[in-house]
Amino acid sequence: MGDIGAGALLWLGASVLLASVVRAMTGWAFSIIAVPMLSLVFPPEQAVVLNILLALAATLKNVPAMRGQISHRIFLPLLFSGLVGTPAGYWLHTMVGDAGLRLGMGLLVLALSAAMLLIAPRPQALTLPALALAGLASGVLGGAVGIAGPPVVLLFVLTATDLGRARATLALGLLSVCLIAAGAYLVGGHITVPVLLLFALALPVVLLGDALGNRLFARYGGHGVRRVSVALTCGVGLLSIARSLVGP
């Protein structure tokens, strides 16, 4: 921790606060905001592992409250296909350097932003093949760069008829992917003492942001969430790409 300055710690706090507020409002945006922002200051691998631990803590806290809203018909295909994809994603992570990870994160969130901006939502029933494919892709991305959300988020945002139910089901599905990814990184020796110390410092901020985001969701519902999410992810994606181009 001695080589981490006050500026880096302040960036850590600001990143996870913003990510946790938006995650509480949407059910998914923690990783897609936190990982690229953290990787601007911290090594991408450290950012990925720290994000997985923080996302687990934040989502576990809310599972009891969301339990009654979860659709098992939607959740189970996401779970099983995500479990298949996560180990493959972890293998990809071990093959890519820091610049490649940052560039991949940036392109990923920009692609999500563009899809959410350009494709009009059309509420409809979610089919088993669509859920399985989205879950598989989320597992691969979660294992590779710690950002599991985009495929499932895109599917839900463009088709969901009940925002509260979709929010709860999506949060639990991504929690499952994070659990498997955390196990892979633990076995691989990536959950180090510095990562755990950063986790301990960031967790209270995440819980604060989570409480604030839940209050905002209860007060304002889903109005404007899609627009805000697009703006945030677009900005974060551009920053991540720029950081990958300027080097270490």
Which tens digit of pLDDT belongs to each residue from 57-71? 877 776 666 666 666
Q: Which residues contact 150 (CB under 8 A, 6 or more apart)?
A: 32, 108, 109, 111, 112, 137, 138, 141
| Count of CA atoms in the C-beta half-sphere (13 A) of 233 | 31
Domains of the chain, by residue range, sit at: 6-246
Per-residue model confidence (pLDDT) at position 224: 55
Report which of 66, 19, 42 is spatially closest to residue 194, judged by C-alpha positions: 42
Per-residue model confidence (pLDDT) at position 2: 47
**What does the pLDDT look like over 208-235, one tens digit per residue?**
988 888 787 777 665 555 566 666 667 6
- Single-letter residue type at 4: I
| Count of CA atoms in the C-beta half-sphere (13 A) of 180 | 26
Per-residue model confidence (pLDDT) at position 205: 93
Mean pLDDT for the chain overall: 75
Average pLDDT over every residue of 98-127: 70
Q: Averaging pLDDT over each range in 44-48, 112-116, 195-199, 207-211, which range is the top one?
A: 195-199
d(CA 30, CA 182): 16
- pLDDT confidence band for 201 (50 / 70 / 90): very high
pLDDT: which is higher, 120 or 192: 192
113 CB-contact burial (10 Å; exposed 0-12 / middle 13-18 / buried 19+) = buried
